[in-house]
Structure 1
Amino acid sequence: MLLAINGTGIAIAASGGSKLWLLALLLLAIATSFAAERILPYREDWNTPHDDDRRDAAHAAVNESLTLINLAIVPALTALIPFDGVWPTAWPFVLQVLLAVLVADLGLTLMHLASHKIPTLWRLHAVHHSAKRAYGFNGLMKHPLHQLLETAAGFAPLILLGLPTTVAYAVALCAAVQLLLQHSNADYRVGPLRAVLALNQAHRFHHLKWAGIGDVNFGLFTLIWDHLLGTYSYDPERRFSSDDLGMAAKPHYPNSYLAQLAEPFRPSGACVAEEPRPGTTAERTLDSPPR
């Protein structure tokens, strides 16, 4: 996934090949993700739909369509910049993609962190944290407004730097593959790289449901910025089940697609006692972000 699919996508983008090949690669990545989850699952029960398969397919279709629309307007946005970009177009294409990934990762990490700290953003982001199992499509289980905000946070700095459209297409494919890997139910291991790459071993800790405990491992591509921000966490002994995921303060978060789109705009709930994690007690508002 990281080397073969991303590498092929980078080669296609660098050569100016048809964008349909990138779409085909994305479909191959999805198929590979689902096959790996069934061959070597982290949890067998996470391969079984929790009345969420059609909902998650709707999230994926809408949010990937938004990504394609955003990519289509990158050239127009770049043309509006009133100064010459400083993007290193003379660099080898693969190095340009790696640089774009690091820059985008910083913007995405900061937006993700803000979404856990600012109540208005949290209400949108909470859709993603309502998941009760971790599998490939969870990465695209997002409110479309939050998806747009994340895309803006990741790509706006790149556009200001003069990002070429071909590099943008390659980064978009890498992001889609990363979301599949990050939320995958496949029990793959990457050894010491788990502290650097934002893959599923570390990202499961981000989805712990108790207040403040999931405020870790915010990166999409890497955990470099989490180390610098002091938000990295990992415990090699920890195992996860559906009881560990979701939001303790909102255990009955709406499950259908349309209800999840509407939920962030409902009136705020009253202060209720949150389900405590073992050995602790906690209390916060239903709609306040985890602390």
Structure 2
Amino acid sequence: MQLLPPLVRYGYAPLMLLGINGTAIWLASNGAPKAWLLAVLVAAIALSFAAERILPYNDAWNQPAGDAGRDVTHSAVNETLILASVAAIPALAAIVPSLDVWPHDWPFVAQVVVAVLAADAGITLVHLASHKVGVLWRFHAVHHSVKRFYGLNGLMKHPLHQTLEMTAGVIPLLLIGLPVSVASALALAVAVQLLLQHSNADYRVGPVKHVLALNEGHRFHHLKWAGIGDVNFGLFTLIWDRLLGTYSHDPARRFTSDDLGMAAKPNYPIQYLPQLTEPFRPTGSCD
């Protein structure tokens, strides 16, 4: 058992980024039934929970605080939306004009990398706008109401905001002929990234932490004070944050639940349905 903590510290992130994503890429490239990709997603979630319990960054964040059922519901609804968007690609391709300039002759893994980088740009820019535009912030605030930082928080989003982010990430790809198989691998990569980015596991990735948008940097994004958390917007990478001047990191900083949430809205609804209706309330704005 003493071997497990160091295995998690240095092996968990590579296992998820290369092992889980690599398996999904192999399955998608070989036309495997979508049920196999769902099985890989379930395995990724199980690994996430196991890593958080073997080597937690904050022990308290592994304990539910009346939010476990809500987080499961958010994750189920939003992951279903992601999968539905993949399933809808053939129909969308039939009605959306496409330039059909997708690099079909490239190795499949290279096609997935292109999709990841393109989606990262669209999602990151919408994420940034959601901190600057009042009406978008109302919906994005659901995600920033979290008081503990663990894997399932990644999909704790208002479904309308989740749809907006995914649309920004995928529509440009559809316009250049994104294949369904590549979209399937991309959908799994998004889920894996969200698990890693919000993970309570105290893992290490070395200098890569300055390039990939993982939990060590993303905690800064969830600082509850207005303006302080307007950093590290990237989903997959920190490339855009570096270009936009929104990258921030302090290796000495430690986080607790007192640092998370929204200082201007400390009593934001905790349960699922109230969170869905909060953005529509005239007095529920977190602007």
* Fold in common (TM above 0.5): yes
What SS class does the counterpart of residue 82 from structure 1 fall into? Answer: coil
Residue in structure 2 matched with residue 42 of structure 1 by the alignment: 57
Partners of 1:153 and 1:137 lie apart in 2 by: 22
1:168 aligns with 2:190: no
Deviation at 1:200, TM superposition (A): 0.1
**AA at the equivalent of 1:207:** H
Q: Which moved more, 1:67-76 or 1:181-190?
A: 67-76
Deviations along 1:149-207, whole A, 9 cap, x unmatched? 01101101110111000000000000000000000000001111111000000000000
Provide closer, same or farther for how the CA distance between residues 258 and 94 of structure 1 changes in structure 2, counting only shifts above 3 A.
Answer: same
Deviations along 1:58-112, whole A, 9 cap, x unmatched? 1011111111211111111122233441111110000000010000000000000
Q: How does 1:44-193 map to 2 (within 5 A)?
A: 44-193=59-208
Q: How does 1:10-49 map to 2 (within 5 A)?
A: 10-49=25-64
Scaled by the length of structure 2, what TM-score is found?
0.93
1:247 aligns with 2:262: yes
Partners of 1:254 and 1:84 lie apart in 2 by: 44
Unaligned runs of 5+ in 1: 270-285
**Which structure shows the bigger proportion of residues in helix conformation?**
2
Partners of 1:222 and 1:85 lie apart in 2 by: 26
Residue in structure 2 matched with residue 287 of structure 1 by the alignment: 286
Unaligned runs of 5+ in 2: 1-15
Deviation at 1:30, TM superposition (A): 0.2
What SS class does the counterpart of residue 3 from structure 1 fall into? Answer: helix
**AA at the equivalent of 1:120:** V
RMSD (Å) for aligned C-alpha atoms: 0.9
Partners of 2:222 and 2:31 lie apart in 1 by: 38
Q: Which moved more, 1:79-88 or 1:90-99?
A: 79-88
What SS class does the counterpart of residue 142 from structure 2 fall into? Answer: helix
Partners of 1:6 and 1:170 lie apart in 2 by: 8
Provide closer, same or farther for how the CA distance between residues 51 and 205 of structure 1 changes in structure 2, counting only shifts above 3 A.
Answer: same
Which of the residues 235, 241, 266 maps onto 1:220? 235
